[in-house]
Amino acid sequence: MTQMILTKALYTVISLAVITNYALILIGTMARIRAKVQGRVGQPFYQPYIDIVKSNAKRTSISHGVMFFLGPVFRLAGGLGTYLFIPAIFGSVIFSNFSFSGDLLLMMYFIFFGQLGMALGAGESGHPHSAIGVARGLAQMTAFELPFVLSVVALAAQYGTLSITEIVAAQQGGFTHWAAFTNPLAMIAGMIAFLGMSGANPFSVVVAPQEIPIGPPTEMQSSFLGMLQTNRAIFNGAKMVLFMNLFWGGAAHENLLVAILIMVVKTFLIYLYVTIVGASFPRFKTEQSIRFFLGVPTVIGIAAVVLQMV
Amino acid sequence: MSDQHTQTQISSAEVHEVFADLHTRYGVRGLEEKRADQAFVRTDRDEAVAVLTHLRDRHGYTHLAFLTAVDQIEEGRFELLYMLHNYELRHDLGVIVEIPREGDGCSMDTIHRMWPAAATYQRELREMFGIDFPGSPRLHEDFALEGWHDLPPMRKEFDTREYSERTYYARPGRTKTDTRQHMKDTIYPSEAETW
Amino acid sequence: MMTQILTVLAFLLMALGVWGLMSRRHLIRIIIGFSLLDTGVHLLLVAFGYRSGGTAPILSDGIGVSGLVSGAVDPIPSALVLTAIVIGLAVTALMLSFAVRMYARTRSIYIDKNKELKW
Amino acid sequence: MVSPVVLIAASLGFAFLYPLVERLGERAATRIALLVLAAFAGTTAGWTVSLIGSGVALTADTAGFVAPLSIQLQVTAVDALAMTVVTLLALAALVQLTERATDRWHGKQVVLFFVLLLGSYGLIMTRDLFNVFVFMEISGISVFGLLSTSRDGRVFEAGFKYMVASGLASVFFLIGTAFVYRSVGSLSIADITAAAPVALASPVGVMGLLFLVTGILIELKPAPANGWAIDTYQAADPGIGALLSAVNATAMVFVLVRVMPILAGASPVFVPLVLIAGAGAFLIPQAQALLQESFKRMLGYSSVAQIGLVVLAIVIPAAGVPFAGVALAVPLVLLLNHAVAKATLFWIADATGDDASGFGGSLPASLRGRPALLVVAAIAVLALLGLPPFPGFWAKWSLVMGLAAGGHIGLLVVVLLGSLLEVVYLGRWLIMRMRHVDDDATVVSQRIPADFAESRADAVSGAASGASDASGAAAGAIPVGATVSLGLATLLMAGASVAALLGSGVGMPVLIVLIGVAAFAVLDVLRIPLRLQAIVAIAGLSWWGVSAVSGAALTLQSGFVLLFVGGAVVQLVALLARPGRRAGLVALIVGMVLSLAALTAATSPLEVFVAWELMTLTSFFLVVRGRFAAAASVRYLTFSLASALLMLAAFSLATAANPAFGTGGGVIGTLTTSVPWAAVLLALSVLIKLGAIGLHIWLPSSYAEAEDEVSSLASSVLSKAGILLLFLGAGSFAAPLFAGVALNQVLGWIGVITALAGGMMALFQEDIKYTLAYSSMSQLGYMVLAFALMSHLGWVTALYLAVNHLLFKGMLFLAVAGIVMRTGTRLMYQMGGLIKRMPFSFVSVLVGIIAVSGVPPLAGFGGKWLLYTALIEQGWYLQAALALFSSGIAFLYLFRLIHSMFLGQRKTHHDTVTEAPAAVLIPQFVFLVIIIAISMFPNLLIKPLQTIVEPAFASSVRWEGYTVISSLGYWNGNAVMYVVIGVFLAPLLWLLAVKGRTYRVEQFNIVFAAERPHTPQSTHYAYNFYGHYQKAFGRLLDPWVERFWSGVSATAGTVSQTLRAWNTGNPQTYALQILLYLFLTYLVARGGL
Amino acid sequence: MATADTQTRRYQEPGAPGNAAVVNPDPRTVTGPAGGTGQGDVQTVDGQLRILTEELKLANADLRSEDRGNFCDHPPEVIKPFRAFWENFLNWARSESLWILGFGTGCGAIELRPLMTSRFDMYQYGIQGRPTPRQSSVFVIGGYASVKTMKRIVRSYEQMQGPKFVLGLGSCTINGGMYWDSYNTVNRLDHYIPVDVYIAGCMPRPEALLAGFVKLKEMIKRGECEGANRYAENFEWYKANQKRIIKNWDMPDYNW
């Protein structure tokens, strides 16, 4: 028993280390790529590490209260948990994480865990801009949730299961088996929702730096900010892995390193897609993005579901 | 079209007509025509509001461009300048009112009921010159300065350099150089010839 | 035959009464109409009890009970009418007194000035 | 035995002798009169007892002849009972009358009174047609005389109209009598009845009977030819009105009873004729009464309507359970119920001097602060509305059952619709009288001060003040006489209720409800403080609950008993925080809980319905206690009773189709009916109670405007009654309804749309209690959705959600109660930053909202997991997506709730706020512990729920340790909890390790664009929190439903306005109407033109 | 880097008036916080200036009484750096991740903008803007600081979390520049907040600004930028100076 727990703990640490470092490097690299596109040198690819170290190296921090203090903890816990409830690499024991605790529904609801904690922390900071950011973020979240849910339901209907592992298993055997190609409508709705989920342009009104300085984390600093930066990497990684699993066949290979490579490539492409869209469009207002998500993507999602029903 | 817009629509004779009217009614004096589209008149403090009202209602000077003051410390008075504008004629008319600098006399009737925007000018004048405008809204609230307790800084007897030295810890060793000369001598000696 | 005539007459009287009741504005006239209506009904009752050639239903020595049963007009309607007349009288009196009070209150004897209560 | 003649003679004699008696002095004379009446009452009571025993009638012939030559008086048991009640009411009326009489009229009034009594006795006893006329006229003349003693000068005008109308009626009656006599040759009713099929079947005979019956009907004041009667009720002194309504009308009904056999024998047209007349007489005045501004006039309309109902009951053979087989029991009970109740209401109008009616803030709250009078008035109104436990209820039940059994669907609709209208105006009257004096009766949604100013007084909830302190209404002393009369009437009603209840055959659980209420009412009378009462209630209910479920297997019944009683007991603890006394609060709560329990134990449709009605009533009286709850409780009462009436209709239809319907009880599917319409009505009824979209407009304001503890109980416990009923009627909903669509599919869509709409509306509320109320609506929508799945997992989900909702909504509402108690406001944006002052409340709310929104690892997620799994399993994909979307919305409003109250900036004047009292916190933490427990170990809850559902469906999930596995997915609550603890602790330890020196700063120490925040009020972002959401949805969020119901209300008003304009106030119009009525009866008899 | 340096030299000849290139004046060497009667002395107005109470809490005496409970009353504290290697590592991280507070206090702020452009690309030096003082580590005072702005500068500076660095941009921050005799412009920024690097010029070009940043990075790496600690050490002195010019002090004594 003890040995089992220790093994699991070790696997968890490995899995988390891989995803954290990968996601941090991915963020740094993507920033550098963006800089290159703009004709700049750009920050070093390891800049996210420096920033996190710097934030944690602050000598003082202020706390507005218990929830403020715990907010980033909740947030990071949400990110970690979300990742840990997803089997990152199909068929790998090390990367199966804690996916035995629950299925897709658990994962979808666990996303709220971090949001809620962060929102509470931001709320206790007493800063109106934090609250405004949270209000916007939550509103936008419910909006993109609808197409996302529709696409997930379409997938569940298609494969007759809510287990992520089984969904990935059903997509094995060549890229034509990927949900992206067997259920393109669901994929489209889901990938549009993913834009909202990642909070990049045009759905970045939550943090709108010019208007409501940085939104929810306006008051967050020092180690708190460091945790949020860490979470940003992990949570992003988790979401990309999830979408990779749902629509893009997951990462599966008998050789673990090849499987990781597959994951790296796929998530990189997913992130690139977000970056490209983000670089190409201006920011929506909150009500605009709500209307957007409840418009075309929702209709596509409904179409995907209806296709499964008939 | 644009020419018509910029050109003044009023002739000197007409300006004189307005002046004559004001003169006969209110004893306005001292017409100075600085430009074709700009003239100044002087009036007494007691008549000033009536003159302004008359100008606004009868002669079409509906716009208060600004209200400011000039400290004529040598003559011991402030000159309040009400700059009015007539949109139809594209003509500016400055009404100069002289008021005493010191004591209770350093005050003027408020005109914020005629031009609500005037209240803001009057706040500024109160703060910068210490001119009182009884009845003007929010007159004694801070305007540009926060918590100023000294002499109103725009009065000429206020020594701003002395105040600065007294208050702001001048850094020793500061020298003053004529900028133009410095640039010629030191920074752009080669290019200076071409200026 | 007599019965039919009387019946028709009774209904005519009733119709007259109803007409008076419905068409007059003056309270007293309404009451008169009402009385006419009453009278019509009484007449109807009497008419229904009438037996052609019958005697008055009075129990006297000359006529025995059997003679009365066979020869006299039906006594019950007459008895009823008597009762009804009394009652009608009482009601009419009450109506008149109410009319007086209404007039005292509103200073108008006309019905359409006396309709505060409605809806 | 005393001969009937004696009674007549004694009445007459005493009336004549009274002027002599009066010489003994006024008081003595009054006493003698009362004694005489008492003797009458004794006589009639004696008759009743012996006649019920012997079963034969008491007959007396006058003038030494025998019938038909003589006038025959006869008393049956029914007659005797009616006469007893009439006499007792007369006794009460006399007390009231003599006290209120002016000197001028005193003696004359008594004389007239006895003449009226004589007439009434005569009408009941006589068996001679002409004699009926005589007694009618005697009654009439005495009524006119009594009328003229009224204070209101308009009474002469009214009396004049009455005389005209009554004169016409007499004329008709006489004409009819004449025809009948001519055809039959006898005036004895017995003879005529015997001869009718032969002698009166001719056109002439029928014509005569038509006149006769029209005359009688006119005397019964049938709508639409009854304006004169209404005018009279309005102008007469209430005491006279009471006599008119209770004594005179009662006696007149007996005339119809006598004549009915003749009519039925003579021609088949008369039964439908009288039915139509009765239906019209019942329905039309109910509509006309809606807009009345005079209470007496409204009562007048109500009186004539009630008589209409009695007329219906006379004709329809009742087939319901109570009084089955007793001839005329239904109309008699209805009649006497009406007589007592109506007399009571008239006397109350007299005692309070309040003749206002209708709806508006300016109306006097004349029963506020007069608890005794309020109880009496409430009893009268409830009895009049035919609600349990009053006799009228059983009669109405039987009547409706009879209508359904007889296939009179149209009449069924008329009766139910009329009853509903009656609920509206009488309920409104009662609510307006008992409302808080501050209440302008307009509050149906949140109130926000126009200038957003902090105003404590404005937003203080009803809870802060309580019911007992309100004595704004000038409470003049009630006259002794009125007290006696009202007391007598109430005793009469109570006695009748007990008798009817015992005779109705309902089981013990229902009786326990009433015993419970009565017991705690006694405690109130003894002025026992609230806390003590609460302790007694907690102990009693716990004991009762434990004894009810101990040893029993876990079934739907015991499960719901646990839910209801357990939930209520825990929340009752919160009452310990309230010092002082609150009359009626505990009694009503106990009544509500016990009636919910009775609902689970009901073994017949009647019991279900009684329990349902009792639950409605107790909860209504709980809701109406709120400080600004008048308008809300009008909606609550109207919709609740509409729901009850629909249920009644459903039951009657179902029973008519299947006499065995609903017997059994307490198990899933008891109330299954195969009649589609019954199923639809049942579903509608339950949907109203569950606040489904479109039918929800009563819910938010009722939950929100009630006192805080009541809100909590209503939302967490009471709302589950509908769910229970869904399960009881489960089998009804699965059958295809039309075009292959089953009712449960419709229910499912309604459920999910309700969930979404409720959440949407909760988003935009500033008032915390409205937010929670809308949230309840939304959650109930989920339960309906889950139930509608009609699958094992769906039902487990429905029950799971019900339990979960009870836990977290109880917690949230109680936490809010504590906060409102401390901060004195219900508006969220006026709170803020309370986390530091009320940390325990914060924890409770936090756990509550996590549980509601379904965020793992708490129990709420279990509900979500079950729901979506069940939905997807059934192929309800779109519903699943919508449900998920609305669960996101739920997350939004819940965050807003916790943020606006606890986070953000604390107001300076809340700096000294303290934590909620322990008594309020304890129940919250009890719930909290339960939530944590079932989160850790979901099998603790899900497995028992599976057991409950097992009888209906085989299990479709299996367990592996703590993992529940469905055909679609799996969930291990235990593991999730550990993972969450792990991922939470790791960052926390990391943070504690690496963080530099952390300074605890205040809420104002924020970066504020280099400025400092001005005031907490201007820095707290809470008002219109989701403004952008509103903007995004635009017109979609318009209050369509509210508008629809306003339209319905306006239409009803227009109809009422139009109908009442018919009563022009002109005697000639009235006369014309009477003639038209005659013509109409002729048309009906002829079967058309 | 090299380009920036050259350009700095091109326009900022040492020795030019007010062209102090990069200076790091220690306030204590100019006017000591303790005692002294000179021009730069602490002028306690009627002896009223008391920042700390006996319990070493901030008195917040200038706030309305009902506001006092809304603010923290803890004074700033000196926080000792870690030791050699570890602190060097942290200093490296701090110097490579300079987040500027997006608060343009004067006309010099216009020179900040070009740094974001592709031409100057401050990101490559680990510099980026931040909209809130809480998350920023560098405060660039963009030129003249009027008294009114000074109040906001003090607030924002105090709200930044240490270690924090201040760049004085332009001559005005050094000695008032062309506003040296103005009645409402401070002459020496370092009397009010600790300044790490001055960049002289009126206005300095973006290249100069970049050179300043480079200088700052070097200083941070050497562990010389302890402005936050200096501020805490000489808290009363700074506060007295600030309160001397900021007359309507409607904020807490330390803004946290």
Looking at this predicted complex, what is its ipTM? 0.85
Record: contact C118-D1065, CB cut-off 8 A: yes
Distance, CA of E73 to CA of E58 (rounded, Å): 5
Q: In this structure, are strands E197-199 and E165-169 parallel, antiparallel, or unpaired?
A: parallel
Q: Return the pLDDT at C2.
A: 75
Range D119-123 average pLDDT: 92
Q: Return the pLDDT at A28.
A: 93
Residue D268: is its pLDDT beyond 90? Answer: no
Q: Confirm if E4 and E211 have CB atoms less than 8 A apart.
A: yes
Chain D residues whose C-beta is within 8 A of a chain E C-beta are 908, 911, 996-997, 999-1005, 1007, 1010-1012, 1016
Q: Which of D213-217, D1053-1057, E36-40 has the lowest mean pLDDT?
A: E36-40
Residue E15: is its pLDDT beyond 60? Answer: no
**Residue with structure tokens 């003696």?**
D107
SS3 state at B82: strand
Query: Could you report the per-residue pLDDT of D769-789, keeping only the tens digit for each?
Result: 999 999 999 999 999 999 999
Name residue E113's amino acid: R
Distance, CA of A202 to CA of D911 (rounded, Å): 42
SS3 state at D1018: helix
Range D406-421 average pLDDT: 92
When pLDDT is cut at 50, 70 and 90, the band that residue D951 belongs to is confident
Residue D705: is its pLDDT beyond 80? Answer: yes
**How many Cβ pairs closer than 8 A exist between chain A and D?**
262
SS3 state at D739: coil
Residue D448: is its pLDDT beyond 90? Answer: no
Interface check for A61 against chain E (CB to CB < 8 A): the answer is yes
Q: Return the pLDDT at D878.
A: 92
pTM of the model: 0.90
Measuring CA to CA, how many Å separate D206 from each of B132, C12, D1010, D1026, D1086?
104, 21, 98, 73, 10
Q: Return the pLDDT at D845.
A: 93
When pLDDT is cut at 50, 70 and 90, the band that residue E32 belongs to is very low
Range E165-171 average pLDDT: 91
Range D453-472 average pLDDT: 41
Which residues of chain E lie closer than 8 angstroms to D908, CB-CB? Answer: 66, 69-70
Q: Would you tell me which residues 36-75 of chain C have a C-beta closer than 8 angstroms to some C-beta of chain D? A: 37-38, 40-41, 44-45, 48
Interface check for B87 against chain E (CB to CB < 8 A): the answer is no
Q: Return the pLDDT at D188.
A: 87
Q: Confirm if B29 and B61 have CB atoms less than 8 A apart.
A: no
Interface check for D56 against chain C (CB to CB < 8 A): the answer is no
Q: Return the pLDDT at D883.
A: 92
Distance, CA of A116 to CA of A128 (rounded, Å): 17
Range A28-56 average pLDDT: 92
When pLDDT is cut at 50, 70 and 90, the band that residue C46 belongs to is confident
SS3 state at C73: coil
Residue A150: is its pLDDT beyond 90? Answer: yes
Distance of residue D743 Cα from the nearest chain A Cα, in angstroms: 20
Q: Which of B149-163, C45-59, D572-586, D770-784 has the lowest mean pLDDT?
A: C45-59
Distance, CA of D617 to CA of B140 (rounded, Å): 64
Residue D377: is its pLDDT beyond 70? Answer: yes
Q: Return the pLDDT at D321.
A: 65
Measuring CA to CA, how many Å separate D130 from each of A237, C58, D192?
100, 21, 12
When pLDDT is cut at 50, 70 and 90, the band that residue D68 belongs to is low
Q: Which residue spans within D607-752 are E strands per DSSP?
A: 736-738, 741-742
When pLDDT is cut at 50, 70 and 90, the band that residue A216 belongs to is confident
Sheet of strand E138-142: strand arrangement: E127-130, E98-101, E138-142, E165-169, E197-199
For B146, the closest of E148, E187, E188 (CB atoms) is E148
Distance, CA of D486 to CA of D27 (rounded, Å): 20
Distance of residue D394 Cα from the nearest chain C Cα, in angstroms: 33
When pLDDT is cut at 50, 70 and 90, the band that residue E40 belongs to is very low
Name residue A278's amino acid: G
Give the chains touching D; criterion: ≥3 Cβ pairs < 8 Å: A, C, E
**Residue with structure tokens 């139930």?**
D787
- Containing structural domain, residue A92: 2-309
Record: contact D994-A226, CB cut-off 8 A: yes
Could you tell me the end-to-end alpha-carbon distance of chain B, in angstroms, rounded to an integer? 40
SS3 state at D338: helix
Range D716-726 average pLDDT: 91
Distance of residue E159 Cα from the nearest chain B Cα, in angstroms: 22
Residue D267: is its pLDDT beyond 60? Answer: yes
For A221, the closest of E124, E126, E134 (CB atoms) is E134
- Containing structural domain, residue E217: 2-10+19-43+76-245
Q: Return the pLDDT at D499.
A: 86
- Within a domain: residue E70? no
Give pLDDT tens digits along chain B (195 positions).
444 555 666 788 888 999 999 999 998 988 999 888 899 999 999 999 999 999 999 999 999 999 999 999 999 999 999 999 999 888 999 999 999 988 888 899 999 999 999 999 999 999 999 999 999 999 998 888 888 888 999 999 999 988 988 888 888 887 777 778 888 888 888 877 776
Interface check for B190 against chain E (CB to CB < 8 A): the answer is no
Helix (H) or strand (E) holding D1015: none
Q: Return the pLDDT at B8.
A: 62
- CA contacts within 13 A on the Cβ side of E180: 15
Give the chains touching B; criterion: ≥3 Cβ pairs < 8 Å: E
Compute chain B's Rg from CA coordinates.
Answer: 22
Query: Could you report the per-residue pLDDT of C4-34, keeping only the tens digit for each?
Result: 888 898 889 999 999 998 888 899 999 999 9
Q: Which residue spans within chain E are E strands per DSSP?
A: 98-101, 127-130, 138-142, 165-169, 197-199
Query: Could you report the per-residue pLDDT of D994-1034, keeping only the tens digit for each?
Result: 888 999 998 889 998 888 888 888 889 988 899 888 888 88
Q: Which residue has the higher pLDDT, A212 or D635?
A: D635
Q: Which residue has the higher pLDDT, B166 or D358?
A: B166
Which residues of chain B lie closer than 8 angstroms to E151, CB-CB? Answer: 146
Distance, CA of E152 to CA of E169 (rounded, Å): 17
The rounded mean pLDDT for chain D is 87
Residue E122: is its pLDDT beyond 70? Answer: yes
Q: Confirm if D109 and D143 have CB atoms less than 8 A apart.
A: no
Query: Could you report the per-residue pLDDT of D639-659, keeping only the tens digit for each?
Result: 999 999 999 999 999 988 888
Distance, CA of D790 to CA of D116 (rounded, Å): 63
Listed in sequence order, the DSSP H helices in D555-629 are 556-561, 567-572, 585-601, 605-623
Distance, CA of A208 to CA of D528 (rounded, Å): 61
Q: Which of A67-71, A263-267, D684-688, E80-84 has the lowest mean pLDDT?
A: E80-84
Record: contact D130-C97, CB cut-off 8 A: no
Q: Nearest to residue D310, comparing CAs of D286, D285, D335, D328?
A: D335
**Residue with structure tokens 């009881």?**
D728
Which tokens in the block code for residue D1003?
Answer: 């809420």
Residue D294, beta-bridge partner list? D356
Chain mean position to CA D64? 54
Residues in Cβ contact with D493 at an 8 Å cutoff, skipping those fewer than 6 apart: D337, D340, D341, D344, D379, D380, D383, D390, D391
Q: Return the pLDDT at E8.
A: 34
Record: contact A40-E96, CB cut-off 8 A: no
Which residues of chain A lie closer than 8 angstroms to D858, CB-CB? Answer: none
Range E198-214 average pLDDT: 90
Residue D1036: is its pLDDT beyond 50? Answer: yes
Record: contact D999-A61, CB cut-off 8 A: yes
When pLDDT is cut at 50, 70 and 90, the band that residue D596 belongs to is very high
Q: In this structure, are strands B91-100 and B77-86 parallel, antiparallel, or unpaired?
A: antiparallel
Q: Return the pLDDT at A297.
A: 94
Range E196-205 average pLDDT: 89
Give residue limits of the domains in chain B. 2-173
Which residues of chain C lie closer than 8 angstroms to D133, CB-CB? Answer: 84
Interface check for B188 against chain E (CB to CB < 8 A): the answer is no
When pLDDT is cut at 50, 70 and 90, the band that residue D103 belongs to is low
Residue E249: is its pLDDT beyond 90? Answer: no
CATH annotation of B2-173: 3.30.460.80
Distance of residue D246 Cα from the nearest chain C Cα, in angstroms: 22
Q: Would you tell me which residues 28-47 of chain A have a C-beta closer than 8 angstroms to some C-beta of chain E? A: 31, 35, 38-44, 47
Residue D939: is its pLDDT beyond 50? Answer: yes
When pLDDT is cut at 50, 70 and 90, the band that residue E45 belongs to is very low
- Within a domain: residue E250? no
Q: Return the pLDDT at E29.
A: 34
For E134, the closest of D1000, D1007, D1010 (CB atoms) is D1007
Residue A58: is its pLDDT beyond 80? Answer: yes
Which residues of chain E lie closer than 8 angstroms to A220, CB-CB? Answer: 134-135
Residue D548: is its pLDDT beyond 90? Answer: no
CATH annotation of C2-56+68-113: 1.10.287.3510
Interface check for A59 against chain D (CB to CB < 8 A): the answer is yes
Distance, CA of A138 to CA of D847 (rounded, Å): 19
Interface check for C77 against chain D (CB to CB < 8 A): the answer is yes
CB count, 10 Å around CB of D371?
17
